[in-house]
Structure formats: C-alpha cells, structure tokens
Amino acid sequence: MELIVCCPRCGEDENLHGEMEMGDITVHCGSCNLIWLRDLQPRCSRCDSSDVRPAHEAIVSKSRGSQLSIQSARLIYLCQKCDAAKLSHYQMTNSPIMPENLPTEQ
C-alpha cells in the first residue's frame, strides 16, 4: 500500500502543490482550486482503516542475467485487515517485502 495524496473533491493526484507551516501541510489542487490540510495519518487505500503498520518493500533491479539484487527499500504501510498474510510474513521474517512487479529487462 502506497501513500497517495489526491484531492478529496476531484481526485487529482498530480497537479497538487503543498506548503509546510509549523508542522502542518496545506495542499492546493491545481485542477479544482481546493485547499485543504493534509492528514498525515497513513490509511489503507482499500478499506480506509488507519490500523496500518509500517514495513519495508525492496527496490530491486536485475544485476546480471536473471539475478535480482536489492538496491534499497522504501517505507510502505500494511493494513491489519487487508494485508494480514503479508504483514504476518513480514513480522516473522523481518526481511523487506518483494515488490509485486519484478524487473524483466536489464
């Protein structure tokens, strides 16, 4: 699950501009001109629950032939309900989660 910011009025997710003031982020939508205060609480994109846990997802690339190498990791959030199996596996192994789409070309 990625944290994607989108306009609550029109759904725009690219034509946005944010400014930080005293720890708050104010976002302006360039498509419909709505201005709102960004909620920094991560939520599940499927069920809208705030009961999510941080996890690391591997960023991989092909290094040689068909060999994949982990280059780095990015922070994602897993929902306790929607991602229960993936979250359980992550907590048991404490290893970065492999991305769903792996690179196919070098």
Ranges 10-14, 18-22, 102-106: which has the least confidence: 102-106
Dist CA 3 CA 40 (whole Å): 10
> What gap in Å lies between CA 106 and CA 100, rounded to an integer?
18
Mean pLDDT of the chain: 88
Instruction: Kindly report whether the global pTM for this prediction surpasses the value 0.85.
Output: no
HSE at residue 66, side-chain half, CA atoms within 13 A, is 0
Which residues have C-beta within 8 Å of that of residue 10, sequence separation ≥ 6? 29, 31, 32, 34
Q: Is the pLDDT of residue 22 over 90?
A: no
